[in-house]
C-alpha cells in the first residue's frame, strides 16, 4: 500500500518507452531483495497545486550500500483541464555515489485536442552530455475521428536508475489514424467499426533505421460489448548484436523484414460464461511463428469468478524449432464484503514449473487488513523449488 496508494500523483507523462520513476527499482539489487529500513510519503492538493513527496532508505547488503531514494513531484492545474509540472528523483548511496533525474512536463487539453510533452535529464558521476530525453505528442479524438502523432528521443547516456528506459540512443516517430463509424439501425447488432493504421519508426541517433512497424487493423464492437479484431503488421528489425530468444538459441545480426497476421475475439465479459480466442501467423525474423490462445470465464454470481487461459507458440527458425505453452488459472471468492480469497496457478513449459500464489485478505476495520499469502514454485516432476508462507497486518491510526 505504501507504494500503490496515490501512486498516480508521481506519474510523469506515461510513455511505454520511458518511465522516469518506477517503484520496483527500490528494494532490489542485481535480482536480490534488499531490506528496507523505512520511508515517508506525503501527498495532497493545495489550491491548484498537487504535491507529492516520497523518501525511502534501504539497508546495506554485502556489496550494495545503504541507499536513499527520494522523489518530489509538483503539478499545477491551468486552463480548464490542463496541467504543467515538474519532478526530481534522487538516488543517493552512503558511499557517495548518486543518480538524479529531473524534468518538466505539460498536458494541455482543448476540447477533443490533446497536446502533451516532457523533457528530462539525468545526472550520474562520470557521464557528461548525451543524457537527455524529450517528447511531444498531439492527439485528436472525438466520436468518429482518431488522429495521433508523437516524436520522442532518448539519448544514449540517459540513465534513470530509479526508472525504466529499455531502449536508449533512439529517435522514435509514431503516427496513428483511425475512424469509428456507427452503422446504427442498418446493422442492429454492431455498435461501431474501427479501422485504423499506425506506424512506429525508430532510428538511432545517426538516423539509421532500426525498427519500423506498420500496424493495420479492423475492429468490430458489437452491442453486447463483445468485439473482434483482425490485424496485419509489416515489421522491419535491424539487429546490431545477436538476439537471444532462449539460453542456447539466438537470431544472428542482420536486417529482417517479415509480416504477421492475427485475429482476436472476446465475448461479453458481463455474462455468466464468457471467453476469448486468438490466432496469429506469419514470419518471425528469419523464420515463422504460429500462436494460439484460448480463454474461459465463469462467474455464476458476484462471489465467485474463475478465469482459465491457455497460450501456445510454435516457432520455426533455421537454428532450430521449439514450442512454448503457458496456462494460467485465476480463482477468486468473496466470503463477505470484507473477506476475500484469490489464487493464481501458472504452468510454464519453458521453465518446466508450476507456480502457485494463494492470498486471503480480511478487512477487520476500515483501511486495516490482515493478509495470509502462500507462494510455491514446483517443477513438473514434483520437486519443490521455492515455498513461502507470509502474514501481513496493517493498522490505520485515525487522528
pLDDT 10s digits, 149-171? 999 999 999 999 999 898 999 99
pLDDT above 70 (res 105)? yes
Mean pLDDT of 298-304: 92
pLDDT > 90 fraction of the chain, expressed in percent and rounded = 75
Strand-pair category, 339-348 with 353-365: antiparallel
Chain mean position to CA 166:
12
CA dist., res. 101 & res. 163, Å (int): 9
Residue 184 has φ and ψ, to the nearest 5°, of: 65, -135
Mean pLDDT of 19-40: 85
Give 31's pLDDT tier (boundaries 50, 70, 90).
confident
pLDDT above 80 (res 5)? no
pLDDT above 90 (res 313)? yes
Collect all residues with Cβ–Cβ distance below 8 Å to 198 and sequence separation of at least 6: 174, 175, 176, 177, 214, 215
Q: Sign of dihedral through CA atoms 73, 77, 81, 82?
A: negative
Tens digits of residue pLDDT in 57-87? 999 888 889 999 999 999 999 988 899 999 9
Average pLDDT score, the chain: 92
Higher-pLDDT residue of 23 and 88 is: 88
**pTM, entire model:** 0.86
Report pLDDT for 134: 95
Mean pLDDT of 256-278: 96
Which of 63-77, 209-223, 238-252 is most confident? 209-223
Report pLDDT for 394: 86
pLDDT above 70 (res 225)? yes
pLDDT above 90 (res 108)? yes
Select from 191, 180, 111 the least CA-distant residue to 145: 180
Residue 50 has φ and ψ, to the nearest 5°, of: -110, 125
**What is the biggest distance separating any 2 CA atoms in the chain, rounded to whole angstroms?**
71
pLDDT above 90 (res 245)? no
Report pLDDT for 14: 61
Report pLDDT for 395: 86
Report pLDDT for 1: 67
With 0-12 / 13-18 / 19 or more C-beta atoms within 10 angstroms meaning exposed / middle / buried, residue 397 is exposed
pLDDT above 80 (res 3)? no
62: left (phi over 0), alpha (psi -120 to 50) or beta: left
Amino acid at each position: 500500500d505504501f507504494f500503490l496508494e496515490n501512486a498516480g500523483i508521481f506519474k510523469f507523462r506515461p510513455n511505454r518507452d520511458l518511465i522516469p520513476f518506477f517503484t520496483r527499482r527500490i528494494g532490489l539489487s542485481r535480482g536480490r531483495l534488499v531490506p528496507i529500513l523505512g520511508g515517508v510519503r506525503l501527498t495532497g492538493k493545495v489550491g491548484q497545486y498537487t504535491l507529492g513527496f516520497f523518501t525511502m532508505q534501504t539497508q546495506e547488503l554485502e556489496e550494495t550500500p545503504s541507499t536513499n531514494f527520494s522523489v518530489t513531484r509538483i503539478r499545477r492545474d491551468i486552463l480548464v483541464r490542463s496541467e504543467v509540472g515538474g519532478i526530481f528523483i534522487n538516488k543517493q548511496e552512503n558511499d557517495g555515489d548518486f543518480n538524479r533525474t529531473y524534468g518538466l512536463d505539460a498536458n494541455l487539453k482543448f476540447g477533443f485536442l490533446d497536446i502533451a510533452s516532457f523533457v528530462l535529464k539525468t545526472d550520474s558521476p562520470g557521464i557528461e552530455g548525451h543524457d537527455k530525453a524529450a517528447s511531444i505528442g498531439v492527439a485528436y479524438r472525438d466520436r468518429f475521428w482518431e488522429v495521433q502523432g508523437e516524436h520522442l528521443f532518448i539519448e544514449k547516456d540517459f540513465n534513470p536508475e530509479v526508472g525504466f528506459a529499455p531502449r536508449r540512443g533512439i529517435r522514435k516517430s509514431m503516427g496513428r489514424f483511425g475512424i469509428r463509424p456507427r452503422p446504427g439501425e442498418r446493422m442492429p447488432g454492431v455498435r461501431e467499426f474501427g479501422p485504423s493504421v499506425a506506424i512506429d519508426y525508430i532510428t538511432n541517433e545517426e538516423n539509421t533505421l532500426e525498427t519500423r512497424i506498420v500496424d493495420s487493423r479492423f475492429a468490430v464492437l458489437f452491442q453486447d460489448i463483445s468485439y473482434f479484431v483482425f490485424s496485419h503488421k509489416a515489421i522491419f528489425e535491424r539487429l546490431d548484436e545477436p538476439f537471444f530468444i532462449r539460453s542456447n538459441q539466438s537470431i544472428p545480426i542482420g536486417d529482417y523484414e517479415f509480416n504477421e497476421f492475427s485475429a482476436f475475439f472476446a465475448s461479453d465479459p458481463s455474462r455468466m460464461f464468457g471467453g476469448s480466442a486468438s490466432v496469429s501467423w506469419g514470419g518471425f525474423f528469419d523464420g515463422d511463428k504460429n500462436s494460439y490462445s484460448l480463454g474461459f470465464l465463469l462467474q455464476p454470481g458476484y462471489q465467485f469468478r474463475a478465469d482459465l487461459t491457455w497460450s501456445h507458440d510454435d516457432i520455426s527458425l533455421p537454428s532450430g524449432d521449439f514450442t512454448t505453452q503457458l496456462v494460467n488459472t485465476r480463482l477468486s471468492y468473496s466470503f463477505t464484503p470484507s473477506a476475500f480469497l484469490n489464487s493464481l496457478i501458472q504452468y510454464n513449459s519453458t521453465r518446466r514449473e508450476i507456480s502457485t500464489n494463494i492470498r486471503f485478505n480480511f478487512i477487520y476495520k476500515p483501511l486495516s487488513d490482515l493478509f495470509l499469502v502462500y507462494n510455491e514454485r514446483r517443477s513438473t516432476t514434483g520437486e519443490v523449488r521455492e515455498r513461502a508462507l507470509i502474514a501481513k497486518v496493517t493498522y490505520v491510526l485515525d487522528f
